Chain A
Amino acid sequence: MAELRQPIESGAPDPKPYMHPVMVKNYGKWVFHSHPRPGVLYHRAESGDEIWTVKAGTQRQMDTYTIRKLAEIADKYGDGYVRFTTRSNIEYMVADEKKVEPLIKALTEAGFPVGGTANSVSMVAHTQGWLHCDIPGTDASGVVKALMDELYDEFVKCEMPNRVKLSTSCCEINCGGQADIAVIVQHTKPPKINHDLVANVCERPAVVARCPVAAIRPALVNGKPSLEVDEKKCICCGACYPPCPPMQINDPEHSKIAIWVGGKNSNARSRPTFHKLVAAGLPNNPPRWPEVSAVVKKILSVYKADARPWERMRDWIDRIGWPRFFEKTGLPFTKYHIDDWKGHRVTFNASAHIRF
Chain B
Amino acid sequence: MAKQIPATPMLDQLESGPWPSFVTGLKRLAKEKDMMADLLGQLETSYETRKGYWKGGTVGVYGYGAGVIPRFTELKDENDQPLFPDAAEFHTLRVQPPAGMHYTSDLLRSLCDTWDKYGSGLIAFHGQSGDIMFQGIKTENVQPAFDELNEKGFDLGGAGPALRTSMSCVGAARCEMSCYDEARALRTVINNNLDDMHRPALPYKFKFKFSGCPNDCVNAIQRSDFATIGTWRDNIQVNEQLIQDWVAKHGKTELVNQVINMCPTKAIRLVPKDKVAQGDGYSVAAVDAQDCMEIDNHNCVRCMHCLNVIPGGLLPGKDKGVTILIGGKGVLKIGATMGTVIIPFMKLESDEDFEKLNELARNVLDFFAENALEHERTGEMIDRIGLVNFLEGIGIDVDPNMILEPRSNPYVRTDGWDEEVAKWNERKAAAKAG
In the bound complex, residues from chain A placing their C-beta under 8 Å from that of B127 are 128
Contact A149 B17 (CB under 8 A): yes
Distance of A70 Cα from B108 Cα, bound (Å)? 9
Considering the complex, which residues of chain A in the window 226-276 have a beta carbon less than 8 Å from any beta carbon of chain B?
237, 239, 245, 250, 252-253, 255, 263, 265-270, 272, 274
* Beta-carbon nearest neighbor of B191 in chain A: A11
Q: When the two chains form their complex, are residues B54 and A134 in contact, meaning their CB atoms are under 8 A apart?
A: yes
B51 to chain A, nearest CB (A): 6
Task: Return chain A residues, CB-CB under 8 Å to B128.
Answer: 125-127, 175-177
A19 at the interface (CB under 8 A from B): yes
A interface footprint on B33-51 (CB within 8 Å = 1, 0 otherwise): 0000001000100110111
Closest to B110 in A: A71
Give complex CA distance A239, B333 in Å: 9
Give the bracket for the number of chain A residues in contact with chain B.
35 or more
Instruction: Give chain B nearest CB distance to A216 CB in angstroms.
Output: 14
- Total count of chain B residues near the partner, CB < 8 A: 131
A5 CB contact (under 8 Å) in B50, B55, B147 = B147
Q: B216 contacts A7, CB within 8 Å?
A: no
Q: A268-B305, A284-B50, A286-B10 are in contact. Are A14 and B99 (CB under 8 A)?
A: yes
Query: Is the C-beta of B85 less than 8 angstroms from some C-beta in chain A?
Result: no
Binds A, one of B173-181, B285-293, B354-362, B389-397: B173-181
Name the residue on A nearest B167 (C-beta).
A86
How far is A16 from B153 in the complex, measured between Cα atoms in Å?
13
B424 on the A face (CB < 8 A): no
In contact, A62 and B125 (Cβ under 8 angstroms): yes
Interface pair B25/A130, CB less than 8 Å apart? no
Determine the main DSSP class of A at the interface with B. loop
- Is there an interface contact between B54 and A209, defined as CB atoms closer than 8 Å? no
A173 within 8 A of B: yes
- When chains A and B are docked, how far (Å) is the Cα of A86 from the Cα of B217? 8
A78 to chain B: closest residue by CB: B105
Q: Which residues of B contact A250 (CB under 8 A)?
A: 51-52
Question: Is B52 within 8 A of A136, CB to CB?
Answer: yes
Please tell me if the beta carbons of A212 and B222 are within 8 angstroms of each other in the complex: no
Cα–Cα, bound, A32→B198 (Å): 40
Find chain B residues with CB under 8 A from A287 CB. 10-11, 13-14, 47
Question: A125 — which chain B residues lie within 8 A by C-beta?
Answer: 128
Contact B375 A206 (CB under 8 A): yes
CB neighbors of A among B143-193 (8 A): 146-147, 150-151, 153-156, 165-167, 169-170, 172-176, 178, 181, 183, 186-187, 190-191
In the complex, the answer to whether A10 meets B102 with C-beta atoms within 8 Å is no
A-B contact pairs, 23 of them (CB 8 A): A12-B96, A12-B99, A12-B187, A15-B183, A18-B104, A23-B174, A33-B312, A59-B22, A60-B124, A80-B104, A81-B102, A81-B104, A82-B105, A86-B126, A86-B169, A86-B217, A133-B52, A146-B17, A149-B19, A212-B333, A265-B220, A266-B215, A269-B264
> Which 9 A-B residue pairings sit nearest by Cβ, starting from the closest?
A149-B17, A32-B312, A63-B25, A11-B191, A252-B50, A267-B214, A130-B46, A71-B105, A15-B98
Further pairs besides A19-B100, A83-B101, A265-B223: 5, Cβ < 8 Å:
A10-B155, A12-B165, A71-B105, A172-B331, A267-B215
